[in-house]
Amino acid sequence: MSSVIELVASQKMPRLSASDHVAQTIEQAIVDGLLAAGELLRQDEIAAHFQVSKIPVREALKHLEAKGLVTFLRNRGAVVASLSTAEIDEYMDIRALLEARAARLSAPLIGEPALAAARAHLDDFGRAANAGRWGELNWLFHSTLYAAAGRPILLAEIRSLYHKVERYVRALLSLRNEMPRTQHEHAAILDAFVRRDPDAAAELTRAHVLDAGASLVNYLNDHRSKGGNT
Amino acid sequence: MSSVIELVASQKMPRLSASDHVAQTIEQAIVDGLLAAGELLRQDEIAAHFQVSKIPVREALKHLEAKGLVTFLRNRGAVVASLSTAEIDEYMDIRALLEARAARLSAPLIGEPALAAARAHLDDFGRAANAGRWGELNWLFHSTLYAAAGRPILLAEIRSLYHKVERYVRALLSLRNEMPRTQHEHAAILDAFVRRDPDAAAELTRAHVLDAGASLVNYLNDHRSKGGNT
DNA sequence: CGACTTTATATCGTATACGATCCTCGGAGT
DNA sequence: ACTCCGAGGATCGTATACGATATAAAGTCG
């Protein structure tokens, strides 16, 4: 076979169905906070934007509905899911549990390459300017540490929870200056991993997530219309 | 307006879209183990069964895919998701964490009506004949205990995890006689709630879930083709 | 002049239709 | 006889089309 054919074959699509492509793009947009909570997602509009019909768009939205990022209103379409402060609090509480578990399992097993990678993410994190990049690096830092646990399902569950609250965390980070404390806690966590100390890694991780959760809930309670859920 | 109109209005549908109806029914069938892991779900067939077109069927399957109960194979359709023993082990480990947390929060707050309801479910559980009814009562028992925690998200996450492994648990219960030990553990858990003892409730719940998980993993490791993931 | 009904329009939810991809089975070649 | 290949059929993925429902605007009555 000629090299031309190979060339064509190599770039022959991301091997992604239209439905999956739309789902991934919208998911990212929601997580990044580009779409406001409660915003209506008009199917025809999205379909036109991606140059597909409504069918794959609806399939994508159904997927995101099950993931908890979108809510369907009967005969009124889909909106970006919004979380009450109580719900955010619950998610952060669960994250604290699972991430502490992952840290405990991973700390004794982590290797030097993973530590170096985490350290690199930490440095990049300190230099990152916008909240978008910050969110990405924050996840990279933590997931790098958790990977050594060899628990893909646990990691996936953590990521799923993280996705649901990430846009709120980012909004907070953009408005308040939480970076110094965050960086300090990250450094302490990394140090616990360097020492391969499971108890310290777990407890510091737990406290880190709960701190972020408390800070977030406080902020939202202040800035939302008194009883507000939105 | 006449009473006839009111009558019609009152029974005017389950207010459920075709897509949601199909999703719920298939989800139940998978959880109940009526559909074997790995089984192909043919869209035309399902559509004919429900007397709808493929569109709502595909939306339902996309929903279940995001929930982890179904897997799509590009241009080959959807199959019932199957779990390796390692994945089941992970899910049970996470369940143990979350259910222990729910038990700890709930135990000090639980009221007499909830305790009475849990006791009733426990009795029914002892008399239940088939695995299907057993699974339902088992969930009712545990969820009744957790409800007092006032943590709907936590409860929903637990239910989601439970759904993913329930068919495997049921298969085990049907084949082995695990009921006596299970009943004994349930009684001990209920007793801890009666005493409003958070530590005991949490630890007994944790052990209960981990026991079930270990038993399940052992069984599957014995009965699956040596390296088997299915 | 305001509240209720009615009509219009936009958007949703689903059925039908069709090209694309993959599996099956039979035939040619070694 | 076995392997490789291609035509046929089945199933998937998506575009188009249409009835159903909700929101908004206009009209009517008190």
Q: Per-residue pLDDT tens for A142-152?
A: 999 999 999 99
Rounded CA–C1' distance between B31 and C15, in angstroms: 30
Query: How, if at all, do strands A70-73 and A77-80 pair?
Result: antiparallel
- Residue from B66, B126, B96 nearest B217 by CA: B96
Q: Which residue of B has its CA nearest to A86?
A: B151
In this complex, is the C-beta atom of B144 within 8 Å of any C-beta atom belonging to chain A?
no
In this complex, is the C-beta atom of B12 within 8 Å of any C-beta atom belonging to chain A?
no
Q: Is the pTM of this model over 0.85?
A: yes
Output residues with Cβ under 7 Å from nucleic strand C: A 40-44, 54-55, 58, 72, 74-78; B 17-19, 51-56, 59, 74-76
- The token duo for A214 is 């408390």
Q: Which amino acid would we find at residue B145?
A: L
What is the per-residue pLDDT across A21-75, written as a single tens digit (0 to 9) for each? 999 999 999 999 999 999 999 999 999 999 999 999 999 999 999 999 999 999 9
Rounded CA–C1' distance between A18 and D15, in angstroms: 12
CB–CB contact A151 B90 (8 Å): yes
Greatest alpha-carbon span in chain B: 69
Most trustworthy range by pLDDT among A53-62, B1-10, B179-188: A53-62
Asked whether the predicted pLDDT for residue A14 surpasses 60, the reply is: no
String of DSSP letters for A120-179: HHHHHHHH--SHHHHHHHHHHHHHHHHHTT--HHHHHHHHHHHHHHHHHHHHHHHHS--H
| pLDDT score at B180 | 87
- Residue from B36, B37, B55 nearest B46 by CA: B55
Under the banding of pLDDT at 50, 70 and 90, the label for residue A15 is confident
Greatest alpha-carbon span in chain A: 69
Rounded CA–C1' distance between B229 and D16, in angstroms: 42
What is the per-residue pLDDT across B110-161, written as a single tens digit (0 to 9) for each? 999 999 999 999 999 888 878 778 888 999 999 999 999 999 999 999 999 9
| pLDDT score at A225 | 58
Q: Which residue of B has its CA nearest to A62?
A: B63
Asked whether the predicted pLDDT for residue B190 surpasses 70, the reply is: yes
Name the DSSP class of B224: S
Pick among B26, B63, B106 to test the A interface (most A CBs inside 10 A): B63
Name the DSSP class of A74: T
Asked whether the predicted pLDDT for residue A215 surpasses 80, the reply is: yes
Q: Which residue has the higher pLDDT, B18 or A225?
A: B18
CB A44 within 7 Å, strand D: no
- The token duo for B52 is 């709808």
Under the banding of pLDDT at 50, 70 and 90, the label for residue B1 is very low
Q: Where are the alpha helices (DSSP H) in A32-84?
A: 43-50, 54-67
CA pair distance B44, B42, nearest whole angstrom? 6
Angle at which helices A131-147 and A85-106 cross, to 10°: 40
Compute the mean pLDDT over every residue in chain A, rounded to the nearest whole number. Answer: 90
CB–CB contact B19 A74 (8 Å): no
Asked whether the predicted pLDDT for residue A2 surpasses 50, the reply is: no
Instruction: Sort out which chain B residues have CB atoms less than 8 A from A62's CB and list them.
Output: 19, 59-60, 62-63, 66
Instruction: Sort out which chain B residues have CB atoms less than 8 A from A151's CB and list them.
Output: 90
Name every residue whose Cβ is closer than 8 Å to that of residue B163 and which is 6 or more positions away in sequence: B27, B31, B67, B69
In this complex, is the C-beta atom of A98 within 8 Å of any C-beta atom belonging to chain B?
yes
Rounded CA–C1' distance between B23 and D19, in angstroms: 23
Determine contact, residues A153/B94, Cβ cutoff 8 Å: yes
What is the per-residue pLDDT across A135-194, written as a single tens digit (0 to 9) for each? 889 999 999 999 999 999 999 999 999 999 999 998 888 877 888 889 999 999 999 999
Residue-level length of chain B: 230
